[in-house]
Amino acid sequence: MEITWREWLKSNRGRGIILFCFGTLLSMILFMPLYYRHILAPKVGILLNDPVLNYFTPVDWSTAVFFILTVALVQTLVMYSNKPALLLTGIMTYCVVNILRVFTMYAITLEPPADMILLIDPISASLVYPEQAFAKDLFFSGHVSTMMATVFIERNRVWYLVKVMGTALMALFLAWQHVHYSVDLLVAPFITYLCYLGVRKYVAKVEAPRLVE
């Protein structure tokens, strides 16, 4: 039997997970623009010669990318709003991934492809990015990681396949638009999966008292 939100909130670990997610999301909104503008932007990065990108003449797929991501997020929030363990596993995975990205973007700073078409995401652009879309948040792809976080918690077979195909299509569009190097797109699912495994194990301990009743 699924643990309820009321039961979840009775658990110290459950409340801690909610506070962690809320604090991380709030910190992203407040501090990531400063991180991009004052730390990452001045840092000289590496310009890669990506043979995969050379196959594509850049085309602006911003609207399609935003549509795919929005559908996946809305479906996840609606379908799993009454399943706190699954929903918070996805949100916490997203938070942990973005904390890791702060370090990987600095440790492996890449210069954007010269012919990149900036990805305009109306949500992240208004909440997180500086005055305009940011170009150096490359390694590894935040959009693909976010999609994969919704994939890993998906329990409906049809929606799982839809999200997997949506992730693949999004990765194609990002490469086509020259928003990311292929390495950014290929690494993202693996790092996200490792984060998901750790988060799932941690979140499962909130359910343990319920399961032994």
For the chain, give every domain's residue range.
5-211
Does pTM surpass 0.85?
yes
- The first and second tokens of residue 176, run together, are 């086509």
What was the pLDDT predicted at 197?
97
Judge whether residue 125 has pLDDT over 70. no
CA atoms within 13 A on the CB side of 197: 5
Contact 148, 195 (CB under 8 A): no
Q: Calculate the average pLDDT of the chain.
A: 90
d(CA 31, CA 174): 25
CB-based burial label for 71 (10 Å; 0-12, 13-18, 19+): middle
Q: What is the pLDDT of residues 70-104, one digit of tens each?
A: 999 999 999 999 999 999 999 999 999 999 999 99
Residues of the chain above pLDDT 70, percent: 91
Question: What is the phi-psi region of residue 45: left when phi exceeds 0, alpha when psi lies from -120 to 50, beta otherwise?
Answer: beta
